[in-house]
A and B are shown apart, each in its own frame.
Chain A
C-alpha cells in the first residue's frame, strides 16, 4: 500500500499556489488596485512592496476574502476561491484582531475551531512566539509587539503550508522585528509559501525570493529578488593619482564608465569583471590603491527609483 502523501507534497507539485488575474478594486473614484496579475509559486517567499496607498493591503484583503474585487479573478491552489480553503492559509492582514477581554488561549481556541485545527496546537504556537507564559493574560493587557506575535501564532496554527503576512513587523521594536524575521525565516526553511507585504525593504530583501513592486495599485516591477538586484554595482576606488588610474582603466577597457569625484573614482565595471581585477590592474601599473570598495545597490535605492 502506498503511503498517503502529505498536503505539503501535493502543494509543491502545483504550478502556482496563488494566481491573480487582472484584479481591480475601486473605492468610489479612488482606484486601489488596477489590473493586478501575480503568480506565486510553491515555496516562494513573495514580497509585495510599495509605498503607502499602493494597494498592498487591498490586494491581500481580496485574496483573503474580506473584500470583493470589482473586476478580475484569483485562484488559490489552482481552484476558484472558497471559504474553506482559507482554513489552510495562515493570514495576518493589517492589525491583530482578537477579543480584548479573552485570554490568549481562549482567543486562539476560537481561531483553531474556525480553522478546524486541534486545540493542542495552541501550546506549540504560543511557545514558538514566546507567549506561553502569558497564555492566561487578557489580550488587552499585551504590548503591541506581543499582540503582533500572538497574531503570528494564530497564523501558524495547524502548521499551514501557505502564509499571508501583511506588515508583520508593523509597530515592533528592533528586537520584535528580529523575532518576527526569525519566525518567517524558520517557516521559509520548511519550504512554505509565504506572501509578505511590507514597507520595510530590508526585510523583503533579506527574506523574500520574489518581489512585486506596486505603485498606485499596479505592478510596476516583479521578478526574483536577486534578478531585480542584478544591476551594475559601482566600485569606489581611491589612490594618490586618480587621474592616471582613470586613464589607465579606460584605456584597458575594464569599465563601462569611470567618474572622478575628488580623490575617488566611481567605476562601473564591464560584465565579468570584479573589484579585485582593478586592484591587480592598478598594481601592475604601479599604482597603490588606498581604498577599494564595492557599493551594493540596495533594493531600497532601486525601489525609490521605481516608484519615483
Chain B
C-alpha cells in the first residue's frame, strides 16, 4: 500500500481542494502542504525499509514494495488485452522517488505566493505531482504511459495560465513536442505488447520487467531479438525520441528554455527538478534494457549527442542575458552528462549519470528558486540590471554561490561527484574516451557563465540602470526594491525552502556512499544486460 499511498496522496489532496471554497486560500495551501509532507514521510519510510542488495530491473521478485492487481483484461476477438496495476521499486527508481517527494514539497512551498486562482492551481499541481510519482513507480508500461501523459496536461495548464507574457506559445510548444514523443512511444508499446509474454502467466504483457529480459520475447514476433531485425531499431528510436525530448537532448531541446522562462517559479522548479529526470529514467529503465543490442550499436552516437548537448547548452547559456534563460540552458548542458554517462555502458558511468540526475534534481530547483526570488523583487531577470547585490543580500548571495559552485562541479558538492563519475566512466571505455575529454569543456564553460553571472549581479557597485535603489549614507547604505514591501534579503520561507536542498547537496558531495549503495546493484544489473548484448553483437 505504501506505493499506492505515496502516489495518490496528492490526488486525495486535489479532491479535498475541490471541496474547499476558493476564498479560503490558506486552507487550500495547507492541504497541499500536508500531502507533500506526507509524501516526504512516506519516501523516508521507503528509504529506510529499502533493501539495497536486491537488484530488480528484469526480475519482479527482486523489486520491493511490489503491488500488483489486475487492472483490465479484455478479450477481443480471441485475443486478450490485459494491463496490470503493477508498481514496485528498485535501485533505478528509489532515488528518483525520494527526489520527487522533496522537490514536490519545495514546489508547494514556492507556490505560497501564487495568488491567481489558487484553487485551480493547487488542484493541477497535485495532479502533476501524482503523475510524476506514478511514472517512477509504475512497472506496467501501459500504466507508465498513462502517468507519463497525465504529467502533460496539468503542466500545460500550469504554464499556460500562470505563466509569463508568452505563456501560450510556450505551453503549446511544450505540449506538442512532448506529445509527438509520446505518440511514438505508444506505437512502440503496441508492438512490444504483441511481442512479449510474461513468463509467469504465459500471456502477453505490458510489464516492463518482463520486457527487459530478452528471453520473454516471442520468437518470430515483430520485435523478436534476431539478426538484423529492423523493426527493433525502429521501436528503439521511437522510444528514444520520446525520452530524449524530455531530457532534453540537443537538437530537441528548444521547448525547454521557452517553457522555463514562461513558467512560474514553482513550476520551473518541478520541471527542472523532476520532469527532465523522467527522460533519463525512461532511458535507463525502459529504452536501453529492452533493446540492448540496438543501444550498443548506437552507444557512441548517443554519447556524441550527450557531449553536443553539454557543449552546445553551455555555449547557449553563455550567450544569455536573462538569468532564468541562462539557468535553463545550463539544465540542457547538465542533462547531457546523463546521456554521456549511460552511453559509457559501465557501472561507473551509469552511477555517475544516476547521481547527476539526483544532484541536478536538487541543484536546478535551487537555481530556479533563486531566480524566482530576485524576479519577485525586481520584476526583471536581466543580469545587467543589478550589480553589487552581495552587499545588500548576503544570505541570498551565499545560496547563489553554493548553487553555482554545485553546478559547475566544485569538489565537496554533489555536482562534482556526479560529473567526475561520468567522466571517469566514459574515459575508461575506449570508444567514448575522446568524447569524455571534449565533454570536460562543458565544465569550463559552466564556470565561465556562472562566474560571469555572479560577477555581474553580486560584486562591484550598483549599476546606474539597476532595478533597485540604494539609500543611506556611505558605509551604511541599504537597498530597496520598488513595490516589494520593503523586503530585500531572503525571508524565512525562502530560506526554509533552500536550506534543505543545500544541505543534501553538501552531504552527498562529501559522502555519496548512501546514494551509491542504493543504486549500485540495479545499475550493475543494467550494465550486465547491456554488455551481454554487446558480447553477442561482437560474436
**Do A and B actually bind?**
no
* Residue positions of B touching A, CB distance < 8 A: none
